[in-house]
Amino acid sequence: MSDLRDRQLAQLAGPFSRPALVVVDVQRDFADPDRLGAYGLTDAALATLDRTVTRIAELVDAARAAEVPVVWVELGSDPARPWRSSNWLREGDYDAPMSPDEPCRIGTPGAEWYQMQPEEGESRVVKRGYSGFLGTDLDARLRAAGHDWLTVVGLTSECCVYATAQDAVQLDWPVVVPQDTTTAYDHHVNAAALFQLGLNVAVLSDADEVVELWKKAAR
């Protein structure tokens, strides 16, 4: 471990540390293999996705055991308020109505959490785009609860996890991203995303190390 990384993690493990776990978009339209046919995932990518979702669920359980608050950030696509720039980028038509195939349409099965669920009293934030901070009160909620650093996990590494973690660090949050709790639908895309996260946004870690940081903070 480098001297810099030692110093970074030591600050997060102090006796007055107040961490939070932010779980991003582990919803059926992004995580359920039965709903991912259009993405063309290989068998290897599906296996990696399954391991990642399992690891995220384990980290959620560990957070609850350590009394670390879990904050759930979920995409809610609203047909009454289509994301027009996304329509333009993907389909070339800025004024098109929201497609029936839009992921995580509000009120549909695809928007449901997959293999994990928020518990009563845990904070939930519905977002319209990539970042959990854009157009939401996530930053205000975290500050009001007294948190001082974040672990960001979820799907997918190059998109909503990256956007959420990047906005977090720009809003002055120290961010840790466990590499085993996020992935993309392609190995090379995930590797590039993790490289970029580690370069400019977050300290890269793994779930076991994060749990140890939480335990030190609790002591």
User: Which CATH number fits the domain that encloses residue 186?
Assistant: 3.40.50.850
Instruction: Note whether residue 133 is domain-resident.
Output: yes
pLDDT recorded at residue 16? 76
**Bridge partner list, 154:** 24, 182
Band (219; pLDDT cuts 50, 70, 90): low
The letter for the amino acid at 207 is A
- Most distant CA pair in the chain, distance: 55
What percent of the chain lies above the pLDDT cut of 70? 99
Q: Is 43 exposed, middle or buried (0-12, 13-18, 19+ CB in 10 A)?
A: exposed
Assess if residue 89 is contained within a domain. Answer: no
Domain contains 130: yes
- Between 207-218 and 3-12, two packed helices, what is the crossing angle to 10 degrees? 50
Q: What burial class does residue 131 get, using C-beta atoms within 10 Å of its C-beta: 0-12 exposed, 13-18 middle, 19+ buried?
A: buried
Q: How many domains does the chain have?
A: 1
State whether residue 127 is helix, strand or coil.
strand
Distance CA 53, CA 83 (A): 27
**Is residue 146 one of the residues assigned to a domain?**
yes
101 in a structural domain: no
For 212, the domain range is: 3-79+109-218
Most confident of 14-18, 69-73, 87-91: 69-73
